[in-house]
C-alpha cells in the first residue's frame, strides 16, 4: 500500500504537474496573495500594531478569512477531480469541475468541521485514539467528492471502511509527505532568510502564501492517490473506474 500510493502520486504529478499547480495558483494562490496584500496595506502599515489593526478592521479580516476558506474548498474540490481523473486516465473538464466545486462548498465545510471535532474528541481521550480517528477520516472528503451521490455521514463511514486494515501504512505515507513538504518549503523559504529583511512586507506575504498554496496541492495529490489505492484494494475495481462519477 505504501509504495503503491507513492507510485501513483508521483506518476500523477509527473503527468499533470502544470495542470495541478497552475489550477492551485489561479484558484487559491493568486486571489489569496492579492487579498493578503490588500489586507496588509489596509490594516498592517503601522509596524508593531498589526494585530491591533486587524481587530480594529474586524469586518475586513472576517471577509478575507471567509473568502480564503471558500477558495480553499473550491480548490480542494477541483484538485481532487484533477487527481482522480488523472489517475484514472480519463478526461478532465475544468468548467464542470468548477460547477461541482461550488455545490461542494457547504457540504465540504460541514464535513471538515465534523471530522475536526471527531479528531479533537479522540485527542482529548488520548493521543493514540486521536491518531486512529484522524487516519480513519483521512479520505472522507475525497470520497465525498469522488463518489458524487453519497451524503456527509456516508462519506465518513466510507472513509472508515476504506482505511480499515491500512491505517498504519497511511500514517507512514502522511509522515513522509509531511517531511517532503517541510523540506520543499524550507528550500523555497531559504532565500528569504538571506534577503528577507530588505524586502517589502507585501512581497514576503505573497511568497509565503504561494508556498502554502502549492504545498497544499502537493499533499492533496497523495491524499487522492491513497483513496484510489484503498478503493482498489478493498473492492478490486480497476483504477479507471474511480472517475466514473465525473463522466
pLDDT tens per residue, range 123-146:
888 888 889 999 999 999 999 998
Instruction: Quote the pLDDT of residue 235.
Output: 77
Q: Is residue 156 part of a domain?
A: no
Q: What is the pLDDT of residues 169-209, one digit of tens each?
A: 999 999 999 999 888 888 877 776 666 566 666 677 777 88
pTM given for the model: 0.84
Instruction: Quote the pLDDT of residue 114.
Output: 94
Q: Is residue 126 part of a domain?
A: no
| Domain extent at residue 26 | 2-105+163-246
pLDDT band at 237 (very low <50, low <70, confident <90, very high): low
Q: Is residue 223 part of a domain?
A: yes
Q: Is residue 123 part of a domain?
A: no
Instruction: Please name which of 92, 95, 69 lies closest in space to residue 80, comparing C-alpha atoms.
Output: 92
d(CA 223, CA 135): 11
Q: What is the DSSP string of 148-170?
A: -S--HHHHHHHHHHHHTT-HHHH
The number of folded domains in the chain is 1
Instruction: Quote the pLDDT of residue 45.
Output: 54
pLDDT band at 87 (very low <50, low <70, confident <90, very high): confident
Instruction: Quote the pLDDT of residue 190.
Output: 72
As a whole number, the mean pLDDT across the chain is 83
Q: What is the pLDDT of residues 30-76, one digit of tens each?
A: 888 888 788 777 765 545 454 455 556 667 778 888 998 999 999 99
Instruction: Quote the pLDDT of residue 176.
Output: 93
What does R_g of the chain's alpha carbons equal in angstroms? 19
Q: Is residue 116 part of a domain?
A: no
Amino acid at each position: 500500500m505504501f509504495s503503491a500510493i507513492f507510485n501513483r502520486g508521483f506518476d500523477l504529478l509527473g503527468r499533470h504537474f502544470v495542470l495541478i499547480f497552475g489550477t492551485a495558483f489561479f484558484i487559491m494562490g493568486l486571489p489569496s496573495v492579492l487579498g493578503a496584500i490588500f489586507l496588509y496595506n489596509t490594516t498592517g502599515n503601522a509596524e508593531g500594531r498589526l494585530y491591533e489593526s486587524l481587530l480594529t478592521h474586524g469586518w475586513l479580516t472576517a471577509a478575507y478569512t471567509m473568502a480564503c476558506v471558500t477558495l480553499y474548498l473550491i480548490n480542494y474540490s477541483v484538485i481532487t477531480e484533477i487527481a482522480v481523473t488523472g489517475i484514472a486516465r480519463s478526461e478532465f473538464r475544468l468548467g464542470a469541475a468548477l460547477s461541482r466545486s461550488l455545490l461542494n462548498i457547504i457540504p465540504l465545510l460541514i464535513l471538515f468541521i465534523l471530522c475536526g471535532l471527531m479528531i479533537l474528541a479522540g485527542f482529548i481521550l488520548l493521543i493514540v485514539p486521536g491518531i486512529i480517528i484522524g487516519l480513519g477520516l483521512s479520505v472522507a472528503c475525497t470520497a465525498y467528492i469522488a463518489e458524487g451521490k453519497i451524503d456527509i455521514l456516508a462519506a465518513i463511514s466510507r472513509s472508515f471502511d476504506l482505511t480499515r486494515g491500512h491505517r498504519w501504512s497511511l500514517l507512514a505515507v502522511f509522515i513522509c509527505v509531511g517531511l517532503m513538504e517541510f523540506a520543499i518549503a524550507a528550500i523555497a523559504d531559504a532565500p528569504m532568510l538571506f534577503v528577507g529583511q530588505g524586502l517589502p512586507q507585501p512581497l514576503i506575504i505573497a511568497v509565503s502564501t504561494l508556498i502554502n498554496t502549492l504545498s497544499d496541492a502537493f499533499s492533496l495529490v497523495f491524499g487522492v492517490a491513497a483513496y484510489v489505492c484503498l478503493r482498489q484494494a478493498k473492492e478490486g475495481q480497476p483504477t479507471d473506474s474511480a472517475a466514473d462519477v465525473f463522466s
